[in-house]
């Protein structure tokens, strides 16, 4: 199985009901190709000379995606030119968009390099126009170092977290490096130069990696996401506590009095996700001679991952 052989093989269209009306915010449809949501948002922000742009969710990099953004002023026309992304005015409203303000995403995905047996097996597992699968977090949740940094933050190993960030050599990592140059031993101060939502992204990545490990082992429909305030049943403790002991963490670690900005609350997540409006077409693969390709179209609710669906369909 090969997905994302080219960006056009992975199309994502955000589905939401915008709170249109009178207000100080303008809403835009952001289209991008082969760039992350943050890269695209930063490009728009730099072009407009503003610092904050609202959006409801991050989309895959190696893809062609559409999603909505909000800009904190009323404007219907903007001169914005970029090779990999564009914006198109939609309307006005009274509130900014924020993470989670969406219903879900519609996907068109081309899965390549398949044998006839792979196609037959995947088709046999679909139930009409729906497909149920374990609602694991996808690899884009973790990036290369996100979960590792998240664990270091959780366990208060701030020096190590700074070292990993510096080695990553990205935009936020440069902030840490500059802060340490001025205050070499104040690691919390250096980490606080990173936006809180990015720090929480690291913690959520580690939280998600733990969930991916224990969720398939639990025989229930709702599974806790570990954090401050999590209460585990006896059945949950039996499976989750040994994993936490191996990791060297406890639920108390999710509370951080010395760095309250990154105290992480517990939550719950549905073990199962159901893809709806599912359809597919099969054809010869135009990139891999002698193989087949399967084009899937479907809708997923927010927080679920098309890459995980593909993994289960073609496992």
Predicted local distance difference test score (pLDDT) of residue 192:
94
pTM for the whole thing? 0.91
Domain 17-93 has CATH 3.40.50.2020: no
- For the record, the structure tokens of 195 come out as 């936006």
What would the mean pLDDT of 257-262 be, rounded to a whole number? 92
In this structure, are residues 295 and 108 in contact, taking their beta carbons and an 8 Å threshold? yes
Q: Is 60 a catalytic residue?
A: yes
Predicted local distance difference test score (pLDDT) of residue 298:
98
Q: Which of 9, 60, 253, 285 is catalytic?
A: 60
Q: Pairing between strand 131-134 and 85-93?
A: unpaired
Q: Where are the domains of the chain?
A: 17-93, 104-135+271-313, 139-270
Residues 6+ apart with CB under 8 A from 123: 280, 282
- For the record, the structure tokens of 292 come out as 């087949």
Task: Say yes or no to pLDDT of 284 above 90.
Answer: yes
Mean pLDDT of the chain: 94
Predicted local distance difference test score (pLDDT) of residue 169:
65
The mean-pLDDT minimum among 47-51, 63-67, 149-153, 156-160 falls in 47-51
What does the angle CA 245 – CA 247 – CA 250 come to, to the nearest 5 degrees? Answer: 55
């Amino acid at each position: 199985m090969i997905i994302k052989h080219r960006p056009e093989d992975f199309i994502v269209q955000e589905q939401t009901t915008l709170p249109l009306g009178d207000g100080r915010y303008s809403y835009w449809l952001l289209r991008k190709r082969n760039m992350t949501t943050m890269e695209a948002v930063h490009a728009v922000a730099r072009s407009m000379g503003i610092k904050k742009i609202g959006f409801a969710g991050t989309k895959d990099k190696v893809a062609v995606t559409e999603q909505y953004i909000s800009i904190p002023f009323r404007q219907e026309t903007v001169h914005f030119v970029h090779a990999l992304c564009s914006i198109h005015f939609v309307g006005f409203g009274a509130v900014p968009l924020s993470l989670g303000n969406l219903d879900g995403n519609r996907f068109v995905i081309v899965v390549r390099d398949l044998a006839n047996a792979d196609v037959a097996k995947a088709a046999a597992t679909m139930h009409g126009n729906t497909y149920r699968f374990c609602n694991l977090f996808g690899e884009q949740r973790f990036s290369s170092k996100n979960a590792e940094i998240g664990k270091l933050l959780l366990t208060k190993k701030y020096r190590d977290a700074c070292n990993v960030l510096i080695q990553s050599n990205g935009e936020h990592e440069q902030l840490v490096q500059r802060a340490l140059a001025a205050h070499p031993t104040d690691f919390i101060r250096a980490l606080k130069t990173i936006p809180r939502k990015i720090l929480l992204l690291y913690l959520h990545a580690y939280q998600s990696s733990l969930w991916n490990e224990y969720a398939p082992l639990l025989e229930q429909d709702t599974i806790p996401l570990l954090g401050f305030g999590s209460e585990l049943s006896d059945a949950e403790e039996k499976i989750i506590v040994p994993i936490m002991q191996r990791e060297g963490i406890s639920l108390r670690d999710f509370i951080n009095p010395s760095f309250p900005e990154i105290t992480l609350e517990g939550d719950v997540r549905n073990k199962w996700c159901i893809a709806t409006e599912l359809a597919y077409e099969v054809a010869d693969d135009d990139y891999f001679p002698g193989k087949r390709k399967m084009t899937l179209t479907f809708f997923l609710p927010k927080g679920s991952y098309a890459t995980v669906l593909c993994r289960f369909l073609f496992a």
